[in-house]
Structure 1
Amino acid sequence: MKSSRSVLLALALSGVLAVTAACGDKKDDGGVAPAAASGSTSAAASPSADARTELIGAFKKLTGGTVAYTTATDTGAVASTKLTGFSDPANKTNSGKMTITTQGQQLTAEVIVVGTDLYLKVGAPIPGVDPKKWMYVDGSKTSLSKLGLGNPDDPANVKGLADAFVSVERTGTGAYKGTFDATKRQMPAAAGALLQQMGDAAKSVPFEATVNADGYVTSLTMQMPAAGQVPASTVTTTFADFGKPVTISKPAAADVQPAPAALLAQFA
């Protein structure tokens, strides 16, 4: 990247695209995931069961234990991102590594969330920042959602989706499709601006999801509509390794520095 601003804009864009459909702070649960898992089966499925109820139940299970996730966002010529990470809702921790490709350049970033403490490392020059150290953000003073992150007790960003479902239908064993209203999700400010630019299309966003035999959502694919100069994008998330041990800890104090005011200002 040529400047700290371009770095921050890339981060903001990536966060917005990832959370526009998947992030929220409301009280009910939802989930994300594309690509069907081999032999997936809905544990709650029965001929008379309501597809919406089944899918909501599968999303809720994601908040009950550790999980590994991968989210890929393709926004054509504007940007593409890939985020891989692990979350531990019980301990309110989350970690992820992101690769952002935009304007012919590539940016990498790493994030660790422990409670309200956020640590960010960006693989690009930012004035006044040691690239070898983690930047610290006090999440108790600036909402993590403004930084494109879900609450640490819901690091997989699955809460609130149930309120947004418009339609859900079962298309096969453990397979679902439907639409959701993205305007009914609680979003970061930047994401809210994009939603406004989507117009009525934001109220009927297509998705497909799969659920495995144990009742966990394993994949979700969302087709986000165009927003202003941001073209239509495909957001694909997969979940795996449910309940497997995960260790996420804060960086050593010697490896931490305060996040610059210029970065925080981007998400104010």
Structure 2
Amino acid sequence: MTQRTRTAGLLRRVVSTTTAALAATALLAACTPDDGAERTAEPGSSSAAPTPKAALLAAVPDGTEGTFRFSGKDSSSTVSGLVDPTAKGAEFTTSIKDPDLGFTTTMSFRLVADQTWMKVKFTGTKGLTGLPKLPDRWLRLDRSRLTDGESAPVYDGVDVGNAGPLVEAATAVEEQGTGRYAGTIDLTSGEAAKALDAESMTALGDKAKAIPFTAEVGADGNLASLTLQVPAAGKQKAYEYLVRYRDYGTAPKVTAPTGKAAQDAPAVAYELLNG
């Protein structure tokens, strides 16, 4: 392959990679309720002994646990980061490797209230040209300069894995030992339908009404993990929708970047995001 051929369409690939990275925020805010939002417990959960479903719902992060770390993955992306309920802040990083050219795009976002900063790094780029050159700083984004301002992530609550809406949509939940749960979720029910993209939901059809899941609750009573086993459908292979939580109350705080660590995003950053 010649250098010219390798470079042709490279920016288009970068834009596609960036779009995929932004799509990873579905793990973060596709259907998260507001902090402190009252969750709907299943009938009978007010008794002295809560049902497994009610107990699992009670373990979902609601903003009272302090800062915590998270990680997650779906069919096409992985994401990891921090949540700071007090600051209404979050930080997450996702990396995506170009399957043909081999370079990797790592994108990080820091969110504090209604402000969004971005940092982008390209690795494995030897022999490639045409990639945009961006400052190695946190770049503050002006949403009004984005073609699709809604695509830029903002802080939208602490339930970054959409665990609350997903558990609420569970049609069966069993406790299989201390802190271990299993059951099925109806992804067509309520806000749970937003956890996957529309194309995936269409492909799943009736399979979406009974997606197997497992969950673990730590000794501190907080949710440690939630895993959905999404079956193969259409062109999509079977995969895990997984989110993990840890370091409740001990993870670092999320603060707005200042000084030489940050600057307003240059025009090339918007060119990248806007395609």
After TM superposition, the score normalised by the length of structure 2 is 0.70
**1:163 matched to 2:168:** yes
Paired position in structure 1 for 2:125: none
**1:19 matched to 2:26:** yes
Deviation at 1:262, TM superposition (A): 4.8
Paired position in structure 1 for 2:140: 136
Deviation at 1:16, TM superposition (A): 4.2
Paired position in structure 2 for 1:116: 114
Q: Kindly name which structure, 1 or 2, has the bigger radius of gyration based on alpha carbons.
A: 2
Q: What is the rounded CA distance, in whole Å, between the counterparts of 2:144 and 2:114 in structure 1? A: 6
**Shift in alpha-carbon separation, 1:61–1:138, aligned structure 2, 3 A:** same
Worse overlay, 227-236 or 14-23: 14-23
Q: Contact 1:25/1:186 (CA < 8 Å) preserved in 2?
A: no
Matched length: 246
1:239 is paired with a residue whose SS is strand
- Residues 45-75 of structure 1: per-residue CA shift (max 9 Å, x gap): x9953110000000145664211112244x4
**1:85 matched to 2:81:** yes
Q: Contact 2:80/2:92 (CA < 8 Å) preserved in 1?
A: yes
Paired position in structure 2 for 1:234: 240
**1:220 matched to 2:221:** no
**% identity of equivalent residues:** 25
Indicate which of 3, 11, 15 corresponds to 2:10. 3
Structure 1 vs Structure 2 CA RMSD:
3.9
1:122 is paired with a residue whose SS is strand
Worse overlay, 111-120 or 226-235: 226-235
Q: What is the rounded CA distance, in whole Å, between the counterparts of 2:167 and 2:241 in structure 1? A: 18
Indicate which of 89, 96, 117 corresponds to 2:92. 96
- Residues 73-124 of structure 1: per-residue CA shift (max 9 Å, x gap): 4x4xxx4x43221111121101122222351533212111111111122223
After TM superposition, the score normalised by the length of structure 1 is 0.72
Paired amino acid for 1:160: P
Worse overlay, 178-187 or 123-132: 123-132
Q: What is the rounded CA distance, in whole Å, between the counterparts of 2:120 and 2:193 in structure 1? A: 23
Q: What is the rounded CA distance, in whole Å, between the counterparts of 1:96 and 1:212 in structure 2? A: 23
Q: Contact 1:24/1:161 (CA < 8 Å) preserved in 2?
A: no
Paired amino acid for 2:158: D
Paired position in structure 2 for 1:33: none
Q: What is the rounded CA distance, in whole Å, between the counterparts of 1:193 and 1:112 in structure 2? A: 28
Paired amino acid for 1:110: S
Q: What is the rounded CA distance, in whole Å, between the counterparts of 2:144 and 2:251 in structure 1? A: 27
Q: Contact 1:61/1:216 (CA < 8 Å) preserved in 2?
A: no
**Shift in alpha-carbon separation, 1:59–1:117, aligned structure 2, 3 A:** same
Q: What is the rounded CA distance, in whole Å, between the counterparts of 2:139 and 2:194 in structure 1? A: 20
Q: What is the rounded CA distance, in whole Å, between the counterparts of 1:242 and 1:126 in structure 2? A: 42
Q: Contact 1:16/1:190 (CA < 8 Å) preserved in 2?
A: no
Deviation at 1:216, TM superposition (A): 0.5
Paired amino acid for 1:174: G
1:185 is paired with a residue whose SS is helix
**Shift in alpha-carbon separation, 1:69–1:189, aligned structure 2, 3 A:** closer
**Shift in alpha-carbon separation, 1:157–1:220, aligned structure 2, 3 A:** closer
Paired position in structure 2 for 1:54: 55
Gaps of 5+ in 2: 1-6, 123-128
**Shift in alpha-carbon separation, 1:114–1:250, aligned structure 2, 3 A:** same
Deviation at 1:227, TM superposition (A): 5.6
Q: Contact 1:225/1:231 (CA < 8 Å) preserved in 2?
A: yes
Indicate which of 230, 244, 251 corresponds to 2:257. 251
- Residues 139-196 of structure 1: per-residue CA shift (max 9 Å, x gap): 699898744x574432634453343222211111110012223343277799234323
**Shift in alpha-carbon separation, 1:195–1:168, aligned structure 2, 3 A:** same
